A and B are shown apart, each in its own frame.
Chain A
């Protein structure tokens, strides 16, 4: 199977004189490194000095998940489990619970997720959960998953996933028009 046009067929042919002398090839190689050196000295190397400058990420970057609240601040998730089914890495688990009368301003639907966990080590950040969600509850954001020192800490519960009521996370910047209109 041919994946690219850059592959070269290896042959065992007799070397030409220029190849046997080996020096032309050396000078060619040294020319290439010199070209890089001159380019990097004149224009500066194409790098981001990381701790000082963050490498800009794409607008549609898929980072850590968020469980959205609606305009009134109620959790959107209804614990239907479609995200868990859609997840190719099987990173999502949840336990459903029924909403009581005095919880009406906390949860939008009658059924809600009492436990909602994503294992960030399993997650491959494909965004399938986002696509599967019928309630527009789970989204991937542009934030990075933090570094942890043990595996258990990578299982994120609702405390880390649900957005804070006064620190809403705007995910519209990374959405297309079609996705924006699809919010229910």
Chain B
């Protein structure tokens, strides 16, 4: 098989996977909410309400596609498209699995193996703000504008903390390539003490960085408790107030795709990527393809657990006030990340690697 064919198949598979997971995240979100609030959640459409995402999607398509009179029509359409587009292309650099051997050739399960994968994702995440900003501004509505401003200032503040938390990982691995970061977590002695196959995860070295990163990731994806841009009670869903039909659907979907990608990113950085306990043993005894498929399963399992934790947080915590959000970002997370960076640097200096 040609490399290009494999990549195209992978792109298509990833596209479908991201959309399916996003669709079923909406279902899971409602189920998680229900289970935590002593309810049953969607239960009418199919067994356990499993066809609910299809019903929701169908409803979105049949709704009136309304554009407000004074809205900037082009930008109004551009906003949601941008959110969806950006969140989908972010998945390109994430290594979804180890490798597959088809017809004697070994293929990496990564769409684009670029040297600066981490930078690429961070950059794309920042561009994602434009979708919200443009949509909010083009709606010509004060609530939407306030929501958009909140979204952009929140994202700019939390990107700093996120980047600083990432720096400590980059210092440890010495690479911006997500493939290298994933591989570095496969083997080696944990804390230089135990020999654990496929369990040399960065979370065991960088718990503080992980804490900062997960809080920043919640803020970046506009999830509770940092969902100030949409804020139903004060801003009437903020930047998406004026949106209806599939444009609103794209915003909501984009949010869930974002959540999926940011969890995948987090898994690649902190939870050993596609590595699972015993990956080396499986590769040697069962062959490359078995290890490859198991690694995909492991990666997706970790990602889905991450998504469930995001939902768990959402249905537990109340929303932050805006000034509290800024205090947390600038006064707590950035100093914490800087201290963590200094400690990491000192440890690397003292013990070599």
Rounded to whole angstroms, the CA-CA distance of A47 and B41 in the bound complex is 11
User: Hey, which chain A residues are within 8 Å of B39, CB to CB?
Assistant: 45, 47
Report if A33 contacts B (CB, 8 A): yes
User: Hey, which chain A residues are within 8 Å of B313, CB to CB?
Assistant: 30
Size of A's binding interface in residues, CB under 8 A: 14
User: Hey, which chain A residues are within 8 Å of B196, CB to CB?
Assistant: none
User: Hey, which chain B residues are within 8 Å of A41, CB to CB?
Assistant: 35
Report if A36 contacts B (CB, 8 A): yes
Q: Is the CB of A45 within 8 A of B312?
A: no
Rounded to whole angstroms, the CA-CA distance of A37 and B315 in the bound complex is 11
User: Hey, which chain A residues are within 8 Å of B315, CB to CB?
Assistant: 33
User: Hey, which chain B residues are within 8 Å of A34, CB to CB?
Assistant: 312
User: Hey, which chain A residues are within 8 Å of B34, CB to CB?
Assistant: 40, 45
Report if B316 contacts A (CB, 8 A): yes
Report if B37 contacts A (CB, 8 A): yes
Interface string of A11-37 (1 = CB under 8 A from B): 000000000000000100110111011
Q: Is the CB of A36 within 8 A of B35?
A: yes
Report if A49 contacts B (CB, 8 A): yes
User: What is the count of residue pairs linking A and B with beta-carbon distances less than 8 angstroms?
Assistant: 37
Report if A46 contacts B (CB, 8 A): yes
Rounded to whole angstroms, the CA-CA distance of A40 and B36 in the bound complex is 8
Interface string of A147-168 (1 = CB under 8 A from B): 0000000000000000000000
User: Known: A29-B317, A30-B312. Contact between A37 and B43, CB under 8 A?
Assistant: no
Q: Is the CB of B316 within 8 A of A30?
A: yes
User: Hey, which chain B residues are within 8 Å of A30, CB to CB?
Assistant: 312-313, 316
Closest Cβ–Cβ distance, residue B204 to chain A (whole Å)? 19
Q: Which residue from chain A places its CB closest to the CB of B313 in the assembled complex?
A: A30
User: Hey, which chain B residues are within 8 Å of A40, CB to CB?
Assistant: 34-36, 38
Rounded to whole angstroms, the CA-CA distance of A45 and B37 in the bound complex is 9
Closest Cβ–Cβ distance, residue A50 to chain B (whole Å)? 11
User: Hey, which chain B residues are within 8 Å of A45, CB to CB?
Assistant: 34-35, 38-40
User: Hey, which chain B residues are within 8 Å of A49, CB to CB?
Assistant: 40, 43
Q: Which residue from chain B places its CB closest to the CB of A40 in the assembled complex?
A: B35
User: Hey, which chain A residues are within 8 Å of B317, CB to CB?
Assistant: 26, 29
Closest Cβ–Cβ distance, residue A94 to chain B (whole Å)? 45
Closest Cβ–Cβ distance, residue A15 to chain B (whole Å)? 13
Report if B32 contacts A (CB, 8 A): yes
User: Hey, which chain B residues are within 8 Å of A47, CB to CB?
Assistant: 38-40
Rounded to whole angstroms, the CA-CA distance of A37 and B39 in the bound complex is 10
Q: Which residue from chain B places its CB closest to the CB of A38 in the assembled complex?
A: B35
Interface string of A98-111 (1 = CB under 8 A from B): 00000000000000
Pick the contact of A33: B36, B40, B43 (CB < 8 A). B36
User: Hey, which chain A residues are within 8 Å of B316, CB to CB?
Assistant: 26, 29-30, 32-33
Q: Chain A residues in contact with chain B, CB under 8 A?
A: 26, 29-30, 32-34, 36-37, 40-41, 45-47, 49
Q: Chain B residues in contact with chain A, CB under 8 A?
A: 32, 34-40, 43, 312-313, 315-317
Q: List 6 A-B contacts (CB under 8 A).
A: A29-B317, A33-B36, A33-B312, A33-B315, A37-B35, A45-B38
